[in-house]
């Protein structure tokens, strides 16, 4: 695969290339995976996505393999231990928000039957198929991410601003933001 066949943001690092080629933009309907991306996207705020991808295994260990029920029960002692873990970004607000978000995530699951049903309602249950010619054409947020963010905040979620939620939509395949010349854009349109 040639560099020219991929989105330009991923071509400088093997971790990015693997993530781009195998995960980014693939529709996710599994609640555990959706919770994982919610934690990781929140942790990414203000940092590069590559920084988070390089610490992904650390997040898996620190956050009970993204088991939402376990994370929701984290005690203050457990949070303090996580804040000492060099395998993650040790930001107090971000770590605490993961626990807060786990509790809110469970409430959403109880109300809607799954987080998947809830989150995908913002795109009417379909992938938004964009046709971005260049990376500059990709917006940092959209009307859908604005609405999603407001609703999540109303439900008690933290670190779920519109830009973070648009990145979440891209990561979980709610939108296809691969540029049109990227081989994944074509594959994910099928």
Q: Distance between CA atoms of 154 and 171, rounded to whole angstroms?
A: 23
Catalytic residue from among 16, 24, 36, 49: 49
Q: Is 24 a catalytic residue?
A: no
Confirm whether 16 is a catalytic residue: no
- Catalytically annotated residue among 16, 41, 59, 120: 41
41 classed as catalytic: yes
Mean pLDDT by runs of 10 across the 190 residues of the chain is 75 90 96 98 93 97 98 98 97 97 98 98 96 92 98 98 97 96 86
22-52 residue pLDDT tens: 999 999 999 999 999 999 999 999 899 999 9
């Amino acid at each position: 695969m040639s560099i020219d066949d991929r989105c330009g943001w991923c071509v400088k690092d093997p971790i990015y290339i693997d993530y781009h080629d195998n995960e980014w933009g693939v529709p996710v309907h599994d609640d555990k995976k959706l919770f994982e991306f919610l934690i990781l996207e929140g942790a990414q705020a203000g940092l590069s996505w590559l920084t988070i991808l390089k610490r992904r295994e650390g997040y898996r260990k620190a956050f009970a393999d993204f088991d939402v029920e376990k994370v929701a029960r984290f005690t203050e002692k457990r949070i303090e231990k996580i804040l000492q873990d060099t395998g993650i970004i040790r930001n107090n607000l971000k770590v605490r928000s993961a626990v807060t978000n786990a509790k809110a995530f469970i409430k959403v699951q109880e109300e809607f039957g799954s987080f998947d049903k809830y989150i995908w309602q913002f795109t009417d249950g379909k992938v938004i198929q964009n046709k971005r010619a260049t990376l500059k054409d990709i917006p940092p947020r959209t009307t859908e991410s604005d609405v999603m963010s407001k609703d999540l905040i109303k439900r008690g979620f933290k670190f779920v601003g519109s830009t973070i939620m648009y990145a979440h939509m891209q990561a979980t395949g709610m939108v296809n933001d691969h540029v049109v010349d990227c081989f994944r854009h074509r594959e994910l349109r099928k």
